[in-house]
């Protein structure tokens, strides 16, 4: 519905839409200048008093003859206001959304438009380095929960007019700001068309959990597949480099992590620290990460296979096997340990930082020692699960680490129940799941391995001297 020409009707309608007087932080301010009334509406928590004071002064500095030249909202912007960020709007719904987003709406007599003043000052924390993506060298800033700050952090690194951020409003209730960022001359066209189409067709009430709510809304059909379809990052340098390579980033207000599309499995294995190191050192770290990943997946199931077939080991490797009898099958010990480790992780998340060290000591020493002495676990089970738990932190992506965890648990269960054939079947199932997984736009999750592209895969697996990109 559009604004009326009559000021009283506009004021009556906006008061009704805002439910004025019911909530303490919705403010109406009336300014009477030379027998002309102006009505201002804003939210108390988003506006600084000094900014509104400048508007009030601008209005009082106008002379009576100046008002004869100001007949519309556009005239006031051009001739009477010193504020830089201001525009006009004639739709009531958009005006209310703007006010609830932190803008100030100014109504005048005989106007069919309102002046929208952008004086927003959202509460925000500093741009500290994210805990999960720390690096030894390079920048140490990170995204925050304010979308404008996040776009500025990317703009600081990409000073190119081809970089654009398209703003959307998502959620019939929350009306959350969402920005799609990309380089117009490098963007993946198919991905951009798909994401814009999904956003336009998205019908949800709110993005309560920010990025995760958005992912679930656009990818609800494959919720049984644990492999992530969008890469998360809280580092502006990583996001900037991905944009310059043709990827698309999605920034959601009130969320410090951004989404990168499209993303395959090799994208999740990249770490910023690899590219801040010298070429030789960076490649070494990459190789170590890949080897640790293989060990993370295969150590428990292979050990279960060896305990069931001890004759496969030579005499000098027999020390790997348990020396004493055990009450619980080895594969069940691994599965119970997997659950126990996740339980300790959840406990540590809810433990005050001052007690975190105590929890680690209790969980790692007392519980581990007790389970061995009482016969629940063997010493080898504790050792290998400790290796697996620590090695999972070498992967930059938490989401991918959990996907590999589920693959490992499936391998352990099938190997323990069906032996060698179970191990083979588990590998086939995991490979089939990976091969059938698609990115958010329907392309191969294993690209550039499938379909094979040597030029692309060598840049993902190894870093080259002439390569300037940082992932």
Which of the given ranges, 32-36, 98-102, 251-255, 409-413, has the highest pLDDT on average? 409-413
CA–CA distance, 72 with 35 (Å, rounded to integer): 16
Nearest to 119 by CA among 101, 135, 139, 144: 101
Average pLDDT score over residue span 188-195? 88
What are the extents of the domains in the chain? Answer: 7-117, 147-263, 276-436
| DSSP assignments along 31-72, one per residue | EEETTEEEEEEEEGGGB-HHHHHHHHHHHHT--HHHHTT--S
pLDDT band at 471 (very low <50, low <70, confident <90, very high): very low
Rg of the chain in Å (alpha carbons)? 29
Structure confidence at residue 154 (pLDDT) = 95
- Which stretch of 141-155, 327-341, 391-405, 446-460 has the lowest confidence by average pLDDT? 446-460
Structure confidence at residue 468 (pLDDT) = 44
Cut 0.85: pTM above it:
no
Residue 188 three-state SS:
coil
Nearest to 29 by CA among 4, 5, 55: 55
**Which 3-state string (H, E, C) describes 66-128?**
HHCCCCCHHHHHHHCCCCCCEEEECEHHHHHHHHHCCCEEEECCCCCCEEEECCECCCCCCCC
CB-based burial of residue 102 (10 Å sphere; 0-12 exposed, 13-18 middle, 19+ buried)? middle
451 cis-preceded (ω within 30 degrees of 0): yes
Determine the Cα angle at 380 with ends 375 and 386, to 5°: 105
């Amino acid at each position: 519905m559009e604004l009326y020409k009559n000021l009283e009707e506009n004021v009556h309608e906006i008061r009704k839409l805002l439910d004025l007087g019911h909530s303490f932080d919705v403010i109406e301010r009336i300014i009477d200048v030379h027998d002309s009334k102006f009505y201002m509406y804003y939210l108390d928590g988003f506006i600084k008093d000094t900014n509104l004071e400048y508007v009030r002064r601008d209005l009082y500095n106008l002379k009576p003859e100046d008002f004869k030249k100001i007949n519309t909202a556009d005239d006031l912007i051009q001739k009477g206001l010193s504020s830089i960020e201001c525009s006009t709007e004639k739709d009531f719904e958009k005006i209310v959304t703007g006010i609830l987003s932190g803008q100030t709406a100014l109504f005048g007599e005989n106007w069919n438009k309102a002046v929208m003043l952008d004086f927003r000052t959202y509460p925000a924390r500093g741009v500290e380095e994210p805990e999960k993506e720390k690096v030894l060298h390079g920048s140490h800033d990170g995204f925050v929960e304010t979308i404008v700050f996040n776009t500025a952090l990317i703009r600081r690194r990409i000073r190119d007019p081809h970089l654009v951020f398209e703003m959307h409003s998502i959620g019939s209730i929350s009306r959350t700001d969402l920005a799609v960022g990309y380089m117009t001359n490098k963007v993946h066209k198919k991905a951009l068309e798909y994401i814009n189409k999904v956003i336009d067709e998205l019908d949800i009430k709110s993005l309560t959990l920010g990025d995760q709510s958005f992912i679930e809304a656009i990818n609800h059909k494959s919720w049984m597949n644990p492999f992530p379809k969008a890469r998360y990052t809280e580092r502006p340098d990583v996001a900037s480099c991905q944009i310059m390579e043709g990827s698309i980033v999605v920034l959601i207000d009130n969320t410090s992590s951004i989404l990168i599309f499209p993303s395959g499995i090799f994208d999740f294995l990249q770490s910023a620290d690899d590219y801040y190191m010298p070429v030789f050192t960076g490649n070494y770290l990459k190789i170590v990460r890949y080897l640790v990943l293989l060990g993370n997946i295969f150590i428990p199931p292979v050990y279960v296979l060896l305990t069931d077939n001890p004759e496969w080991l030579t005499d000098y490797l027999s020390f790997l096997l348990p020396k004493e009898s055990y009450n619980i099958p080895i594969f069940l010990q691994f599965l119970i340990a997997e659950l126990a480790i996740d339980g300790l992780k959840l406990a540590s998340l809810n433990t005050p930082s001052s007690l975190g060290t105590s929890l680690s000591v209790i969980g790692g020493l007392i519980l581990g020692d007790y389970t061995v002495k009482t016969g629940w676990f063997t010493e080898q089970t504790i050792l290998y699960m400790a290796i697996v738990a620590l090695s999972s932190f070498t992967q930059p992506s938490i989401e991918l680490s959990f996907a590999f965890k589920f693959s490992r648990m499936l391998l352990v269960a099938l190997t323990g129940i069906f032996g060698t054939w179970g191990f083979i079947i588990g590998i086939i199932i995991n490979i089939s799941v990976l091969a059938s997984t698609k990115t958010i736009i329907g392309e191969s999750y294993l690209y550039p391995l499938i379909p094979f592209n040597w030029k692309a895969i060598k840049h993902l697996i190894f870093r080259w001297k002439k390569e300037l990109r940082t992932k």
